[in-house]
């Protein structure tokens, strides 16, 4: 009986880089802003980059698009229209815009809770420094709204 070779190893999902890195994937998706966010905490951290399938945003739905991208990491990915329907049914949005961080957290909880724990930091990263660093060291995802990076 002929032996069957083992299957090839899976492709790597993440890459590791340090906060001071000048190159790599983050250069394509806003490394400067991301590093500013982390390095303003005055710490040196190792970051793990989880590759997420990009989804084009159409209309005022950047938050819903971000949730759709994160949901692509789950066994049950959702489309922007599916997430919009849920947000609309809950009264969180009219056209896809999300004006409330709390509503965004509640929507994310509803969509991602079987796979992710969602935290909302309303008082900034500095006030939650130890928790944020601990979560990042554990390889957790962090979604940072870009207006807060200014």
Helix/strand/coil for 136 = helix
58 alpha-carbon distance from chain centroid: 19
pLDDT 10s digits, 32-41? 555 555 555 5
Closest CA to 52 of 74, 71, 69: 69
Integer Cα distance of 30 and 122 in angstroms: 23
Q: Residue 51: its pLDDT value, please? A: 77
pLDDT 10s digits, 23-72? 333 444 455 555 555 555 555 556 666 778 788 888 889 899 999 999 99
pTM over 0.75: no
DSSP H or E segment with residue 126: helix 124-127
């Amino acid at each position: 009986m002929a032996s069957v070779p083992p299957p090839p190893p899976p492709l790597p999902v993440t890459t590791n880089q340090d906060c001071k890195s000048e190159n790599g994937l983050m250069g394509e998706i806003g490394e400067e802003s991301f590093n500013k966010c982390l390095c303003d905490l005055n710490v040196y951290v190792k970051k793990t980059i989880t590759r997420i399938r990009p989804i084009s945003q159409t209309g005022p739905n950047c938050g819903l698009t971000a949730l759709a991208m994160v949901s692509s990491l789950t066994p049950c990915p959702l489309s922007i229209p599916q997430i919009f329907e849920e947000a609309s049914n809950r009264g969180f949005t009219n056209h896809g815009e999300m004006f409330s961080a709390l509503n965004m957290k509640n929507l994310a909880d509803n969509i991602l809770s079987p796979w992710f724990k969602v935290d909302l930091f309303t008082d900034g990263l500095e006030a939650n420094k130890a928790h944020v660093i601990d979560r990042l060291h554990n390889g957790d995802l962090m979604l940072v709204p870009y207006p807060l990076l200014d």
